[in-house]
Amino acid sequence: MTAVQSPRIAHRPLGVFTRPQGSEGWRSWLFTVDHKRIGIMYGAAALFFFIVGGVEALFIRLQLATPNGSVIGAGTYNGVFTIHGVTMVFLVVMPMAAAFANYLLPLQVGARDVAFPRLNAFSFWCFLAGGVLLTSSMFIGGWFQNVPDGGWFNYAPNSGVLFSPSKGIDFYAVGLQITGIASLVSAINLIATVLNMRTKGMSLFRMPVLTWMLLITQFLLLFAIPVITVALFLLMFDRLWDSNFFNVAAGADPLLWQHLFWIFGHPEVYILILPAFGIVSEIIPTFSRKPIFGYHFMVASGIAIGFMGWGVWAHHMFTSGMGPLSVAAFSVSTMFIAVPTGVKILNWLATMYRGRLRFTTPMLYAVGVVSMFTIGGLSGVTHAIAPSDTQQTDTYYIVAHFHYVIFGGALLGLFGGFYFWWPKAFGYKLNEAWGKASFWVMLIGFNFTFGPMHILGLQGMSRRIPTYRADEGFAFWNMVASIGAFVIAIGVAMFLWNVYASTRKWRRAGRPDVGPDPWDARGLEWMTASPTPEHNFDSDIEVQKLDEFWHRKYGRDETGRVVRAAPTSQIAHDGSNTSVHLPSPSYWPIVLSAGILLVGYGLIFNLWLAAAGVALLVGAIYGWSLEPPDDPDAAGHHGDHAGELPAADEAEGRAGSPLELEEAQSVD
């Protein structure tokens, strides 16, 4: 291997610290830089926050179940719905999508890991720091005393100290800033991975639709996060240091916040949905036994959404008094954006049309997404029509819309993804009977919860109110919605039980092997053993077609019928090549994130604490830069440089291969 490394390490290595070792035990998870473990941790954390956010939702529904509800008071109610929304958007759907992005992007493009493995670990821990900070707001200084209470959109001037004197909004501003850093770093890392780490022959238009959708999502994050960063800084300056950005008494225009928030906020809703669109685009072809219909249209419509998503933000502000011209322009642009979305739905239907459908659990979820998202998309078009939105805005009709798209679209898609890729990540399938049952319970509960909200909204029930009177006529459908919410909770509990029971059963059965490709699927991630070996693939894959793996498995006979060309066992890698060079674990990503967490609490409570955080943070950055590239004494195949490079690559003059990562050389 010296042949490859020598040009890069001709200078003296910088190392002064040693790197952690070993890949067993809980410590190895804290210091891991393996994209698969990081993906799994993202998924686990997101599920944890999903339970937290779900319990909050149940309290909302308990309070609203009957007129004059008195389960939680009006002040607490503001806190509960705010932290529910913030949790679900920033700590559940986004990290769950990040779980799939981390786990699957390198596999789907045939790479050994992401471009910057240590930065990847940092993204996760930094996200977790933000999540911990936000969640702790519920109990620091007493239950719900310092919880954010201005809604997830947190409109000014309500968010100022004058109207919200607790520390809640400080938690919001600082916490979202921290998760923002995590998303931004991860976006840069994953874009570099997809653009730079593709295996031989993996041209852009041979990448799976999921890879494309995740790539577009990362670009949206790259450009949307800095906008909310600005908004959050202004808010923080106003609250902590008395600046005037949203101080109406000093002449400020609170619409500035609305613009900044929604310039971020509308791309954000596509950040939430595009990963699920990608997942559905992997599941439906697999279980229809057909290639995706209109691959190029699928990709192009995703790109179109990525661009058009920047030109519609003010549809959230139709009633803000911004003027008829703006209202008309944003109304039209919003109607246009439904077109590429519709293209996707039609393409999924066309993929299923005359396919050999297998209704496995992942497929049920995917079909659930297609149908539920369509309902949400249609209600979206009804609010695109500004005069009608004037009636709908700030009512439960909006709440119905965004739950159909975010729960019925994004979250169901992500759950489908759990069932689909579970065998790849853990080596066994989740139980299908429980999976299907939990799907139906969730779907039915979902429709009972959010379907009636269309009616309530059109009847005039405002959102964000803690209760309503008996004579307003809202009681019946509210009760239905509250019952539905508990049905969803049962569905989620069934999913969790399924995870527990399937794992136990698999362990008791002596951990049987599911094989590399349990669903007879199409992407490169199925071309290696399950669970994915630490080094992903045994050797570089050379890609010649879209759905390369499928085309290696199947060919056509003389009559044009699709026939098996070779057994999977011959095509897939078995994970036996333990000589692939792996990046070593690192202490610093988690230390750096701890520094950021301290800075966060320090900004809210005490600047001395922030100073301590800054010291830790600076120390971690230097530790990071001075860490040796690799640990030469590490056990296993860490640092084992023998024979990691297929000779063919060198012959062609390539100085390395995507299988091999010199991450320590990064300036990261």
Q: Which residues bind another protein (CB under 8 A)?
A: 7-8, 10-12, 14, 115-116, 184, 187-189, 191-192, 195-198, 202, 222-227, 229-231, 233-234, 237, 241-245, 247, 250-253, 256, 260, 625, 653-658, 662, 665-668
Q: Residue for token digits 């078995």? A: 574
The continuous run of DSSP H or E covering 564 comes out as: strand 562-564
Which residue from 221, 305, 235 is spatially nearest to 264, judged by alpha carbons? 221
- Residue 393 interacting with ligand HEM (CB under 6 A): yes
- Sign for the CA dihedral angle at 38, 181, 175, 592 comes to positive
Q: How far is the CB of 480 from another protein (least distance, A)?
A: 43
Q: Which of Cu ion, ligand HEM, another protein, none binds 222 (CB below 5-8 Å, type-dependent)?
A: another protein
| Between 260 and 610, CB nearer to another protein | 260
Residue ranges in 69-208 assigned as alpha helix (H): 74-86, 94-108, 117-136, 168-196
Q: Which residues contact 162 (CB under 8 A, 6 or more apart)?
A: none
Q: Which of ligand HEM, another protein, Cu ion, none binds 252 (CB below 5-8 Å, type-dependent)?
A: another protein
| Intra-chain end-to-end CA distance of the chain, in Å | 24
Can you tell me which of 36, 112, 383, 454 binds ligand HEM, judged by CB under 6 A? 383
| DSSP letter (8 states) at residue 514 | -
Q: Which residues contact 433 (CB under 8 A, 6 or more apart)?
A: none
Which residue from 521, 550, 663 is spatially nearest to 19, judged by alpha carbons? 663
Which residue from 135, 63, 60 is spatially nearest to 399, judged by alpha carbons? 60
List C-alpha distances in Å: 290 to 74, 274, 294: 53, 22, 11
Q: What gap in Å lies between CA 499 and CA 95, rounded to an integer?
A: 19
Q: Assess contact for 276 and 409: CB atoms under 8 A.
A: yes
| Between 266 and 424, CB nearer to Cu ion | 266
Which residue from 271, 373, 255, 270 is spatially nearest to 314, judged by alpha carbons? 255
Interacting stretch for ligand HEM, rule CB under 6 A, among 155-163, 193-201, 401-409, 607-615? 401-409
Q: How far is the CB of 655 from another protein (least distance, A)?
A: 5
| DSSP letter (8 states) at residue 556 | E
**Cα 356 to the center of its chain, rounded Å:** 30
- Residue 272 interacting with ligand HEM (CB under 6 A): yes
Can you tell me which of 61, 167, 266, 429 binds Cu ion, judged by CB under 5 A? 266
| Between 262 and 587, CB nearer to ligand HEM | 262
Q: How far is the CB of 656 from another protein (least distance, A)?
A: 4
- Residue 454 interacting with Cu ion (CB under 5 A): no
Residue number, nearest CB to ligand HEM: 380
- Residue 392 interacting with ligand HEM (CB under 6 A): yes
Q: What is the CA radius of gyration of the chain?
A: 25
- Residue 599 interacting with ligand HEM (CB under 6 A): no
Q: Which of another protein, ligand HEM, Cu ion, none binds 461 (CB below 5-8 Å, type-dependent)?
A: none
Q: Which of Cu ion, ligand HEM, another protein, none binds 12 (CB below 5-8 Å, type-dependent)?
A: another protein
Q: How far is the CB of 559 from ligand HEM (least distance, A)?
A: 43
Q: Give percent helix, percent strand, percent coil of the chain, each to the nearest 5.
A: 65, 0, 35
| Between 225 and 494, CB nearer to another protein | 225
Q: How far is the CB of 315 from Cu ion (least distance, A)?
A: 6
- Residue 258 interacting with ligand HEM (CB under 6 A): no
Binding pattern for the stretch 299-328 against ligand HEM, x by CB under 6 A and - elsewhere: ----------------xx------------
List C-alpha distances in Å: 455 to 62, 393, 395, 469, 520: 19, 14, 10, 17, 43
| Between 185 and 441, CB nearer to another protein | 185
- Residue 217 interacting with ligand HEM (CB under 6 A): no
Q: How far is the CB of 410 from ligand HEM (least distance, A)?
A: 5
Residue ranges in 556-628 assigned as alpha helix (H): 568-571, 588-605, 607-625
Token output for 260: 């900044």
- Residue 380 interacting with ligand HEM (CB under 6 A): yes
- Residue 60 interacting with ligand HEM (CB under 6 A): no
- Residue 168 interacting with ligand HEM (CB under 6 A): no
- Sign for the CA dihedral angle at 343, 346, 348, 350 comes to negative
Can you tell me which of 402, 519, 549, 587 binds ligand HEM, judged by CB under 6 A? 402
Binding pattern for the stretch 123-162 against ligand HEM, x by CB under 6 A and - elsewhere: ------------------------------x---------
Q: Which of another protein, ligand HEM, Cu ion, none binds 107 (CB below 5-8 Å, type-dependent)?
A: none
Compute φ and ψ for 395, nearest 5 degrees. Answer: -115, 180
Q: Which residues of 175-203 are buried (b: 16+ CB within 10 A; e: fewer)?
A: bbbbbbbbbbbbbbbbbbbbeebbbbebe
SS3 144: coil
Which residue from 97, 36, 28 is spatially nearest to 532, judged by alpha carbons? 36
- Applying CB under 5 A, the residues found at the interface with Cu ion are 266
- Applying CB under 6 A, the residues found at the interface with ligand HEM are 153, 269, 272-273, 315-316, 334, 338, 341, 377, 380-381, 383-384, 389, 392-393, 398, 401-402, 405-406, 409-410
